[in-house]
Structure 1
Amino acid sequence: MSDTRLPVLFVSELVVLPGMVVSLELDESSRAAVDAARAGSESRVLVAPRLEDRYASYGVIASVERVGRSSGGSPAAVLKAEQRGRIGSGVTGPGAALWVEVEPVQDRVTDHARELAEEYKRLVVAVLQRREAWQVIDSVHQMTDPSAIADAAGYAPYLSSDRKRELLEEPDVESRLERLIAWTRDHLAEAELTDKIGEDVREGMERSQREFLLRQQLAAIRKELGEGEPGSPGGPEDYRARVDAADVPDAVRAALLREVDKLERSSDQSPETAWIRTWLDTVLELPWQVTTDDSTDVVAARAVLDADHHGLDEVKERIVEYLAVRARRAERGLQVVGGRGSGAVILLAGPPGVGKTSLGESVARALGRTFVRVALGGVRDEAEIRGHRRTYVGALPGRIVRAVKEAGSRNPVVLLDEVDKVGADYRGDPAAALLEVLDPAQNHTFRDHYLELDLDLSDVLFIATANVVEQIPQALLDRMELVTLDGYTEDDKVAIARDFLLPRQLERAALTGEEVSVSDAALREMAASYTREAGVRQMERLLAKALRKAATRLATGAERVDIDVADLRDLVGRPRFTPEVHERTSVPGVATGLAVTGLGGDVLFIEASAHDGPAGLTLTGQLGEVMKESAQIALTFVRSHAAELGVDPTVLDRAIHVHVPAGAVPKDGPSAGVTMVTALTSLATGRPVRSEVGMTGEVTLNGRVLPIGGVKQKLLAAQRAGLTEVFLPQRNEPDLDEVPAEVREAVTVHLVGDVLDVVRGALSTASTAAVAA
């Protein structure tokens, strides 16, 4: 078709596509275009979009069907769009209208275009079905021309004017259909998502309305049944009644009533309501005024302690003293000890397996109090002691408050287990929080972060346990009364095994004394050759193993099993510990020292050797700084007092190597000073150290022997190792009062103030070739 001259009718908001019939209100310019079109024979006009930034390149050729007035009285015209046209250059024409040359666009329909048209029809039908426009769906089904199907998008309300303008300016049918398919798919996906969100919101609103209605009905039913009266469970009136009936201090009652007032003003849907209820329940369940009566029979209390534990006289005496004072005040009608400064805090320190933890339960039984154990091993959060603030989700009171609540009385026995294993990190230092708990001068007003109320802990008997006292902060240690449990002698272990361990293991193995017996000699052999510990845990394991083997023999035909020394090898294996001091000290340069670890006392061998090379000192064995300095001091002393020690001064001007087995165990402390002096003197003189001698003590550059700690544990270790003589510092003489009599009889103690006395008494008279030879 050749170019056609047509007047232009510009539209601003509406985009007209071929096949559309539209009604337009006419302004002055558009009226001129319609009048010019009607003056011609075909009454046709070019409808083009009015653009702000450019002239339109495409429009639609439309016929003027009718001209009249709109319902508002304005001039209007009905146009029927027929064909897309490409706008050319402007031309002259009659009237006041703008005339242009128009090239009609012929649509090229392909098979692919027909396929795209069918796909688009399915999408359009899906959109119309959501709107329930059934008549329009029938019209769409009747359309077959791909171009007409694409241009029908001019009626689509979900397409913007910009997108419709893109369709107008796209002459290719396939491109128009591809764009329409993509846009329509996006619209369907968005509509489905919108419908789903709307449905969820509607369901949520309906559920909330339904719950509200049901709650109102439930409240009405409860009121009819009389359950909605004041004091109904869970209601503010119920809490107010519980507060009025509770036996609590006045300050606590005032705080409870304030929270009940808040609960009455809060709605049931408020999250604060749940927090208030939890706090009220916690505070009301605490035993603010509930106490248990202490047993006043001192003899019976001591009998309970003796029945549960062998030995441990010091801690038993301390508990009996505490009970005797309270009983005496009660007899004389004096006020029961309580309040500021009246609390008792005892620290039981000693190696594992000596009965520290189980002693807490015995103390509670002896006093007639409830017992609660609080495990502190590995605790690193300060809130575990003081509690969390109520503002945090899931806040709870601290372990101390929970222990008192669990006990059900304000004067229980609380065992703080493994207090030396408490650590600090970014959440605070639990040991610092324990300062207030374990201070008798402060704990009558202990304030937990969760409760925010003063809780009186002065009547609580705190018993703390620890393995290593040095790991407890000094400020915390100062608040506790230290009672040291240094381990058991061999006789103690035999007695404990016979009276406590053996009956318990017989019961666990379902055996009786008529079926299995264990001789005292076998128990003594277990304690001496199979275990090397301060406590009795390993010994109990050996007994359990032996009894399991005995049960097996009984099950296979034996009538009775009697366990003696000769039977131990078959039941529990070979002895693990044999005397080795004589072998280790048979060569010069080796001395036997005594040390204390977290597991109790132990013997410590110091080995010194010399070889050709530049003069110097090499130290091995994972030694700490203090122990390294002790070795330097010992070498300096031996060199400076060579004449008094009978050593040639040139003997030690060689490379000296000091080693402390076992090399994998860290060691530190000054108490090996005298042992190092003795080992170096032995090396230089060629005189071995007597195998039956052990020693301990810190040495100075002038040869003075300074006091050390752990005397009882070291002497117990000396007895276990088979030593018969031990050199101790003179100033440790008062510590010998704590050593059991059987140990003092088995081990001869030499108290010395000068290291020369140690060397003279420890070295043998026999001499081998000196190191200088």
Structure 2
Amino acid sequence: MPEALQVPVLFVSEPIVLPGMVVPIELDEAARVAVDTAQASESGKLLIAPRLDDRYPTYGVIASIVQVGRVPGGGAAAVVRGENRAHIGSGATGPGAALWVSVEEVADPEVTDETTALAAEYKKLLLAMLQRREAWQIVDVVNKITDPSALADTAGYASYLSNVQRRQLLETEDVAERLSSLIRWTGEHLAEVEVNDKIAEDVRSGMDKQQKEFLMRQQLTAIRKELGELGPDGEEGTDDYRSRIEAADLPEKVREAALREVGKLERSSEQSPEGGWIRTWLDTVLDLPWNTTTEDSTDLKSAREVLDADHHGLEDVKDRIVEYLAVRARRAQRGMSVVGGRGSGAVMVLAGPPGVGKTSLGESVARALGRKFVRVALGGVRDEAEIRGHRRTYVGALPGRIVRAIGEAGSMNPVVLLDEIDKVGSDYRGDPSAALLEVLDPAQNHTFRDHYLDLDLDLSDVVFLATANVIENIPSALLDRMELVQIDGYTEDDKVAIARDYLLPRQAERAALTTDEVAVTDAALRKIAADYTREPGVRQFERLLAKALRKATTKLAADPAPLTIDEPDLVGYLGRPRFTPDSEERTAVPGVATGLAVTGLGGDVLYIEAGATDGEAGLVLTGQLGDVMKESAQIALSYVRAHAEQLGVDPRALDRKIHVHVPAGAVPKDGPSAGVTMVTALVSMATGRQVRADVGMTGEVTLNGRVLPIGGVKQKLLAAQRAGLSTVFIPQRNEPDLDDVPAEVFDALEVKPMTDVADIVALALDPAAETAKVAA
């Protein structure tokens, strides 16, 4: 049994030292103590063992100290030579501050035939790898090693082995087992190296192939230049453009203009920037579908079914589209042209509040006609060049939005939706609405000329649809060229039908719900329409349905039992109702009258308050009123003063400081329809009689009390119905507008056309006795 030795120990994380290795080791304070102790000892040896995190090492290497010095960085280091593998025993005591251990040297076993064969196999792999790296000096050293154990321990220098594998070699006493592991690891590394070398070779050969192809392409380009197929700058040559123009199906005038530009391109020099402009222009012209059209569907019944399937109501728009189809079908039967020609295009503007389906109607019209659909957003457009295009001489010049829409559609007769046409602005760059005059005039748009193309473009067969929220914001000249179709909003029954047939199925699909899992009753839908939303459209209605279905989906995740959302359940799904009738509360004091107005969001109820205080006679107006409403207030006060006796007003009640206020002062208000409401509010204030809570009114007034007609009657009546009013006074001359009002509105409202504002005041004010009773 080998004799036990007592030596100081030095723990290192790297490198893992094996017998026969000569390596430098950087010295920290503890390592320096161990080296100094070893040098001072009788044997001059120390044990170098790997530092492990999970256990105490069982093997190390007895090493001698070759040299102690400093590394280039200035730190202390020692060069050690590993001599024998040793098994670490118990701790020991010795001189100095170093840690001493008792170790037993491990003797190499006898060399067997198996060990010799394994050593030969490993040497063969090792030499193959060294030769691949062309490390000839190391090859000579390896060839001289005959001891299998020493050959195995040279693996400590192998860079492809991990520290774990080196520690395994250190802790393996059997040489045959060490060699077997090394043969396996070295073979795997050689296979990996061969794969990496093959990939590198493939990449290198691919790059060589790309360089070869690049040279060949350069030669081909030079040949094509000599043949005239390419221009001097390498772009497509004029001969190529000539052949494309000849092959293209272009109108005769367009073909002539394109060939003229090709002639200019031929005469232009290589350095001239005009060549690039001409090529871009030619590409744009060749990309336009000059003679490509789609065939219209002439099946009127099918077209009407498509429109009815996509939208509820909107009969005016649907009738107009069907009429357009009927005319085209009849022209086709008579052998008359249905493509091109003056005035054959339909130019309609769909005007109405948000959320009533104006934009989505354009897609339905295109489906009904069997045409391509393109949407052109005009909101915020201020540059005329956006419509007519830029001159070709400008850097980055482009055709206008109309020409780009035609190119995008791929046909000359698409449905083009001009969205938000009332939001087109104007500034120093021009007026886009003026440029739209030619686009939308059926008598002129067959020769529309874009500044970039500078060619006549026939737009007469394009179906133009425009959308707008406020008709007054559309320039009168532009509105004159369009056919106005007003979509004033939906009644409560309409909203319930739309929600049941369109909104609910769509939101249920988005929430991955079926009708068997969640059902919403008509009563709940009607409650949402009446008390949770106050809008002419259904956009907020759809948001609330989506919210309710999301909450239902959450409940189904906890309990899969089917759900039914009824009217009493809405508070749990949507919270408390946001809107309740408030006209009775607002008109509970004299001097407050309920008017009706139209905003960009549809019809709405407008309360006008009048009061008086002591002081110098005069009129104070608040509420951000526009000039028209300020004049209405002046006229209303003058009328009440002039007809005080007829109206039962004490003239002294008006010789005070009169204050007229329209609430929601942060919102600007203007329009010619508040005169009768102001007169009623002033008379109510002066007489002390309240205005009936169920009465609403609209109309302008003259100095002699005549009630003048106004606009937006349908929207105002819908707003009155939503607000819970029962009687509405309108001007007598607006009576024809009642033909467009749905019957269910008349079931809820008593509409009274009036000609004299005195009659409105008489019917709108509560009797004096009732007012006194309420006050008491």
TM-score (norm 1): 0.70
| Residue correspondence of structure 1 range 128-143 to structure 2 within 5 A | none
**Aligned partner of residue 652 in structure 2, secondary structure:** coil
Whole-angstrom distance in 1 between the partners of 2:750 and 2:218: 88
RMSD: 2.2
**Aligned partner of residue 613 in structure 1, secondary structure:** coil
Among 440, 443, 458, the alignment partner of 1:441 is 443
Q: Would the aligned equivalents of 2:228 and 2:237 in 1 still touch at CA under 8 Å? A: no
| Residue correspondence of structure 1 range 346-357 to structure 2 within 5 A | 346-357=348-359
Q: CA deviation at 1:614?
A: 1.7
Indicate the residue corresponding to 2:468 in structure 1.
466
| Residue correspondence of structure 1 range 621-640 to structure 2 within 5 A | 621-640=623-642
User: Given the superposition, is the C-alpha separation of residues 504 and 410 from structure 1 closer, same or farther in structure 2, using an over 3 Å criterion?
Assistant: same
| Residue correspondence of structure 1 range 482-631 to structure 2 within 5 A | 482-631=484-633
Q: Would the aligned equivalents of 1:652 and 1:684 in 2 still touch at CA under 8 Å? A: yes
| Residue correspondence of structure 1 range 243-322 to structure 2 within 5 A | 243-267=245-269, 270-322=272-324
Q: CA deviation at 1:266?
A: 3.6
Whole-angstrom distance in 2 between the partners of 1:303 and 1:233: 52
Q: CA deviation at 1:338?
A: 2.6
| Residue correspondence of structure 1 range 740-759 to structure 2 within 5 A | 740-759=742-761
Q: CA deviation at 1:665?
A: 1.1
1:573 alignment partner AA: G
Note if 1:219 corresponds to 2:240: no
Q: 1:579-627: per-residue Cα shift (whole Å, max 9, x none)? A: 1001111111111000000000001111111122222111111111111
Q: CA deviation at 1:225?
A: 12
Q: CA deviation at 1:218?
A: 2.9
User: Given the superposition, is the C-alpha separation of residues 746 and 769 from structure 1 closer, same or farther in structure 2, using an over 3 Å criterion?
Assistant: closer
Which moved further from structure 2: 761-770 or 251-260? 761-770
| Residue correspondence of structure 1 range 164-243 to structure 2 within 5 A | 217-220=219-222, 234-243=236-245
Structure 1: gaps spanning 5 or more residues: 1-211
Q: CA deviation at 1:224?
A: 11
Whole-angstrom distance in 2 between the partners of 1:433 and 1:416: 13
Structure 2: gaps spanning 5 or more residues: 1-213
Indicate the residue corresponding to 2:724 in structure 1.
722
Q: CA deviation at 1:383?
A: 0.8
Max Rg structure = 1
Whole-angstrom distance in 2 between the partners of 1:491 and 1:667: 30
**Aligned partner of residue 650 in structure 1, secondary structure:** helix
Indicate the residue corresponding to 1:418 in structure 2.
420
> Identity, % of aligned pairs?
78
Whole-angstrom distance in 1 between the partners of 2:425 and 2:496: 37
Indicate the residue corresponding to 2:661 in structure 1.
659
Q: Would the aligned equivalents of 1:388 and 1:449 in 2 still touch at CA under 8 Å? A: yes
**Aligned partner of residue 653 in structure 2, secondary structure:** coil
Q: CA deviation at 1:257?
A: 0.7
Q: CA deviation at 1:213?
A: 11
Indicate the residue corresponding to 1:152 in structure 2.
none
Indicate the residue corresponding to 1:361 in structure 2.
363
Q: Would the aligned equivalents of 1:615 and 1:656 in 2 still touch at CA under 8 Å? A: yes
1:347 alignment partner AA: V
Whole-angstrom distance in 2 between the partners of 1:335 and 1:407: 22
Q: CA deviation at 1:705?
A: 0.4
Q: CA deviation at 1:702?
A: 0.3
Q: Would the aligned equivalents of 2:439 and 2:445 in 1 still touch at CA under 8 Å? A: yes
User: Given the superposition, is the C-alpha separation of residues 239 and 377 from structure 1 closer, same or farther in structure 2, using an over 3 Å criterion?
Assistant: same
**Aligned partner of residue 454 in structure 2, secondary structure:** coil
How many pairs does the alignment contain?
A: 558
Whole-angstrom distance in 1 between the partners of 2:589 and 2:620: 20
1:323 alignment partner AA: L
Among 688, 691, 697, the alignment partner of 2:693 is 691
Q: CA deviation at 1:271?
A: 3.2
Q: Would the aligned equivalents of 1:326 and 1:337 in 2 still touch at CA under 8 Å? A: no
Whole-angstrom distance in 2 between the partners of 1:225 and 1:658: 86
Q: 1:247-278: per-residue Cα shift (whole Å, max 9, x none)? A: 11111000111112222334555433222221
Whole-angstrom distance in 2 between the partners of 1:224 and 1:474: 60
Whole-angstrom distance in 1 between the partners of 2:343 and 2:559: 65
Whole-angstrom distance in 2 between the partners of 1:528 and 1:337: 48
**Aligned partner of residue 726 in structure 1, secondary structure:** strand
TM-score (norm 2): 0.70
Runs of 4+ in 1 over 6 A off after TM superposition: 212-216, 223-229
User: Given the superposition, is the C-alpha separation of residues 639 and 553 from structure 1 closer, same or farther in structure 2, using an over 3 Å criterion?
Assistant: same
Among 399, 402, 415, the alignment partner of 2:401 is 399
Q: CA deviation at 1:223?
A: 8.7
Note if 1:343 corresponds to 2:345: yes
Whole-angstrom distance in 2 between the partners of 1:443 and 1:747: 46
Q: 1:504-523: per-residue Cα shift (whole Å, max 9, x none)? A: 11111111111111111111
1:429 alignment partner AA: D
Whole-angstrom distance in 1 between the partners of 2:745 and 2:230: 75
**Aligned partner of residue 365 in structure 1, secondary structure:** helix
Indicate the residue corresponding to 1:377 in structure 2.
379
User: Given the superposition, is the C-alpha separation of residues 236 and 228 from structure 1 closer, same or farther in structure 2, using an over 3 Å criterion?
Assistant: closer
Q: Would the aligned equivalents of 2:348 and 2:484 in 1 still touch at CA under 8 Å? A: yes
Which moved further from structure 2: 708-717 or 755-764? 755-764
Q: 1:553-586: per-residue Cα shift (whole Å, max 9, x none)? A: 1112242221111111111111110110011111
Q: CA deviation at 1:710?
A: 0.3
1:319 alignment partner AA: I
Whole-angstrom distance in 1 between the partners of 2:428 and 2:228: 54
**Aligned partner of residue 742 in structure 1, secondary structure:** helix
**Aligned partner of residue 417 in structure 2, secondary structure:** strand
| Residue correspondence of structure 1 range 110-129 to structure 2 within 5 A | none
**Aligned partner of residue 651 in structure 1, secondary structure:** helix
Which moved further from structure 2: 217-226 or 626-635? 217-226
Whole-angstrom distance in 2 between the partners of 1:361 and 1:216: 49
Whole-angstrom distance in 2 between the partners of 1:260 and 1:214: 29
**Aligned partner of residue 460 in structure 2, secondary structure:** coil
User: Given the superposition, is the C-alpha separation of residues 454 and 756 from structure 1 closer, same or farther in structure 2, using an over 3 Å criterion?
Assistant: same
Q: Would the aligned equivalents of 1:698 and 1:706 in 2 still touch at CA under 8 Å? A: yes
Note if 1:475 corresponds to 2:477: yes
Note if 1:409 corresponds to 2:414: no
Whole-angstrom distance in 2 between the partners of 1:515 and 1:395: 56
